């Protein structure tokens, strides 16, 4: 198969867009599509400082690469979860993330072919690393075992911790936006799960942009939400970004992955179904179908750490980690 634009060998064929592209043109297309999503959903502007949550995987590293090539002020946050048994999953993820910063591939800016002006030098972005065991005394599997949350699986303790650390670091370091690498497959699996049980409150809050509705919360954005997982993987490959292939050992066999398998079968039979499911949901949501379910809970400041929490007293994070004094 040949590239639609230049007749080189195509590296990807996107049946739902009826588009095959070579590595070079695919990279350009991916960047342009991301910029369109940023503008369409009004995610952020050029003068904002963006914090990208990077896990060392293909989605978040591709996202960081694209934002840097587009010239955004985008720094990274890696959260070390201490998941290193049986394989050094967390250590390897951090290594891939550090390698990405050291290689600096994004310095090759995306520019129009006819633009021969020299590129302005780009400063290296900052990589913030929060190591959970070093900061809070236990790894995620250890705190999870100690608290027996989530029927023995550490995923709920992990999710709570990641959300807390992301929001807190963004606020403390003065970032107005937090960007995550969620792709279309991630979003559709969650949408499917919420639709199966008509969890209207969750549906009302699932969006490419979650505004910072209250003081103490950061705006959250998902610029890659319209790309299939294979498209973000193809971007990383096309750009030579080395990422961690393994997924978290605790995620293997979970419900979200089961839904992803089901939805992949649907997609094989009917290409474009996932994208249509998601975009039509966003259209309905945009028309206000779920507005009445968007409860604006009253928020309180956690009495220990000052972060926003729905119930008065200590927040869920401080309760789980038995934090009694955090320097504000």
- φ/ψ of 134, rounded to 5, equals -70, -35
Among Zn ion, ligand AMP, ligand FES, none, what binds residue 158 when CB lies within 5 to 8 Å by partner kind? ligand FES
Which partner, ligand FES, Zn ion, ligand AMP, none, binds residue 190 by CB below 5 to 8 Å per kind? none
d(CA 120, CA 118): 7
One residue of 27, 82, 141, 181 binding ligand AMP per CB under 6 A: 181
Binding of ligand FES by 56 (CB under 6 A): no
- The residues binding Zn ion (CB under 5 A) are 3, 5-6, 8, 22, 25, 302, 304-305, 307, 315, 318
Query: Smallest gap, in angstroms, from Cβ of residue 55 to ligand AMP?
Result: 3
Which residue stretch of 26-34, 179-187, 213-221, 311-319 sits at the interface with ligand AMP (rule: CB under 6 A)?
A: 179-187
Contact 36, 29 (CB under 8 A): no
Q: Is 154 in the site for ligand FES (CB under 6 A)?
A: yes
Smallest gap from Cβ 74 to ligand AMP, in A, equals 12
108 and 122 in contact (C-beta within 8 Å)? no
Rounded to whole angstroms, the Cα distance separating 164 from 313 reads 16
- Token pair listed for 108: 């090759």
208 makes contact, choosing from ligand AMP, Zn ion, ligand FES, none, with CB < 5 to 8 Å by partner type, with none
- Beta carbons within 8 Å of 327's beta carbon, 6+ residues apart: none
Cis before 86? omega within 30: yes
Gap between the Cα atoms of 140 and 1, Å rounded: 46
Q: Does 81 bind ligand FES (CB under 6 A)?
A: yes
Q: Indicate the SS3 state at residue 35.
A: helix
Contacts to ligand AMP by CB under 6 A: 53-55, 59-60, 77-79, 81, 162, 180-182, 186
């Amino acid at each position: 198969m040949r590239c639609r634009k230049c007749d080189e060998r195509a590296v990807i064929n996107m049946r739902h867009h009826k588009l095959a592209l070579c590595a070079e043109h695919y990279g350009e297309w991916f960047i342009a599509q991301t910029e369109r999503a940023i503008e369409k959903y009004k995610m952020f502007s050029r003068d904002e400082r963006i914090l990208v949550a990077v896990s060392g995987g293909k989605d978040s590293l591709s996202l960081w690469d694209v934002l840097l090539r587009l010239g955004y002020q985008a720094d990274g946050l890696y959260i070390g979860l201490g998941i290193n048994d049986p394989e050094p999953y967390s250590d390897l993820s951090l290594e891939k993330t550090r390698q990405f910063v050291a290689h600096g591939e994004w310095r090759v800016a995306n520019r129009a072919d006819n633009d021969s002006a020299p590129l302005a030098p780009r400063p290296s972005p900052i990589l913030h690393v929060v190591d959970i065991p070093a900061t809070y005394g236990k790894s995620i599997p250890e705190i999870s075992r100690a608290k027996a949350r989530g029927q023995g699986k550490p995923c709920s303790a992990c999710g709570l911790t990641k959300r807390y650390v992301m929001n807190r670091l963004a606020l403390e370091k003065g970032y107005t936006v937090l960007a995550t690498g969620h792709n279309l497959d991630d979003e559709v699996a969650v949408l499917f799960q919420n639709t199966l049980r008509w969890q209207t409150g969750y549906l009302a809050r699932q969006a490419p942009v979650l505004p910072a509705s209250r003081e103490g919360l950061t705006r959250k954005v998902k610029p890659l939400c319209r790309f299939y997982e294979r498209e973000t993987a193809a971007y990383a490959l096309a750009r030579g970004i080395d990422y961690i292939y393994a997924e978290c050992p605790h995620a293997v066999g979970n419900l979200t992955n089961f839904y992803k398998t089901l939805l992949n079968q649907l997609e094989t039979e009917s290409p474009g179904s996932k994208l249509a499911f998601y975009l039509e949901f966003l259209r309905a949501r945009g028309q206000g179908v779920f507005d009445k379910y968007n409860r604006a809970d009253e928020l309180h400041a956690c009495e220990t750490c000052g972060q926003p929490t729905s119930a008065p007293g200590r927040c869920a994070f401080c309760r789980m980690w038995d934090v009694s004094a955090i320097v504000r």
